């Protein structure tokens, strides 16, 4: 018992025998390295800022009904403007009513449950490419704007295609999608820099321990 107690005291004495200044120096160096490791680089900071702008732009684009806009100078135009989720018509005839006795006027949510007959033309309002645009908006903004740009104003779907143009909502969606590609590049750069800094930190720790 006495020998074991003596060994424990000796071990404790050896642990406490280190130079306090060296220990403080090591602690300060480790803290400085950890702070430098946690600090974002310019690419990371820019990535966060651009991501915030892109998020706001895409949210506005997909929530506003100005992807396709009719020329206001044209009198008697049937389309006013449309978005992914809201369609605005000046006078849209019911495509299922051959006698043309029912018309839809104003802005409505595409899944409006209150307007009589609106659910019956949903197949006309949501052709396959619009559904693909909806899915693309949830998966990839770039895919959504490419699909809509290719098919959104084609003949045979929306009325009076010669009088329509892509609205500001679509433009913001394009800008937001491009910014997301920039964000991806910045964050990949930041990840590469952080991996390099982590490797340098481990190497500096190893050198310090060997020198100690």
What's the number of domains the chain is made of?
Answer: 1
Amino acid 125: pLDDT: 83
State what percent of residues in the chain have pLDDT above 70. 75
**Nearest in space to 83 (alpha carbons), one of 110, 103, 102:** 110
Q: Residue 62 falls within a domain, yes or no? A: no
139 pLDDT tier (thresholds 50, 70, 90): low
pLDDT in tens, 19-52: 555 445 556 655 555 555 556 677 778 888 888 8
The β-bridge relationship of strands 68-70 and 164-166 is antiparallel
Q: Return the residue matching tokens 């602690």.
A: 27
Domain that holds residue 76: 67-166
Distance CA 176, CA 196 (A): 30
Amino acid 24: pLDDT: 53
Q: Residue 211 falls within a domain, yes or no? A: no
State what percent of residues in the chain have pLDDT above 90. 0
Amino acid 123: pLDDT: 82
Q: Residue 1 falls within a domain, yes or no? A: no
Q: Residue 154 falls within a domain, yes or no? A: yes
176 pLDDT tier (thresholds 50, 70, 90): confident
Q: Residue 24 falls within a domain, yes or no? A: no
Q: Residue 79 falls within a domain, yes or no? A: yes
87: which strand partners?
A: 82, 108
Q: Return the residue matching tokens 């009076």.
A: 160
Mean pLDDT of 183-210: 75
Q: Residue 12 falls within a domain, yes or no? A: no
Amino acid 11: pLDDT: 41
Between the alpha carbon of residue 132 and those of residues 68, 90, 155, 171, the distances in Å are 17, 26, 18, 19
Q: What is the DSSP string of 157-207?
A: TSS-GGGEEE-HHHHHHHHHHHHHHHHHHHHHHHHHHHHHHHHHHHHHHHH
Report yes or no: 165 and 71 within 8 Å, Cβ to Cβ: yes
13 pLDDT tier (thresholds 50, 70, 90): very low
Q: Residue 126 falls within a domain, yes or no? A: yes
pLDDT in tens, 78-129: 888 988 888 899 888 887 777 778 888 889 888 888 888 888 888 888 888 8
């Amino acid at each position: 018992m006495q020998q074991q107690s003596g060994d424990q005291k000796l071990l404790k004495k050896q642990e406490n025998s280190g130079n306090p200044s060296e220990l403080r120096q090591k602690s300060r160096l480790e803290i400085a390295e950890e702070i430098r490791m946690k600090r974002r680089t310019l690419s990371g900071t820019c990535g966060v800022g651009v991501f915030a702008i892109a998020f706001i732009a895409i949210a506005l684009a997909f929530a506003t009904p100005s992807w396709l806009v009719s020329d206001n100078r044209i009198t008697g135009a049937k389309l006013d403007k449309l978005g992914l989720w809201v369609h605005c018509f000046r006078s849209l005839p019911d495509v299922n009513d051959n006698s043309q006795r029912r018309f839809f006027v104003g802005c409505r949510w595409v899944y409006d449950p209150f307007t009589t007959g609106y659910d019956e033309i949903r197949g006309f309002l949501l052709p396959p490419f619009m559904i693909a645009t909806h899915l693309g908006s949830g998966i990839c903004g770039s895919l959504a704007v490419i699909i809509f740009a290719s098919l959104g104003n084609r003949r045979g779907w929306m009325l009076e295609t010669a009088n329509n143009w892509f609205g500001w909502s679509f433009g913001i969606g394009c800008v937001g999608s491009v910014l997301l590609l920039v964000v991806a590049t910045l964050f990949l750069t930041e990840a590469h820099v952080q991996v390099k800094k982590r490797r340098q930190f481990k190497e500096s720790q190893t050198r310090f321990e060997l020198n100690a």
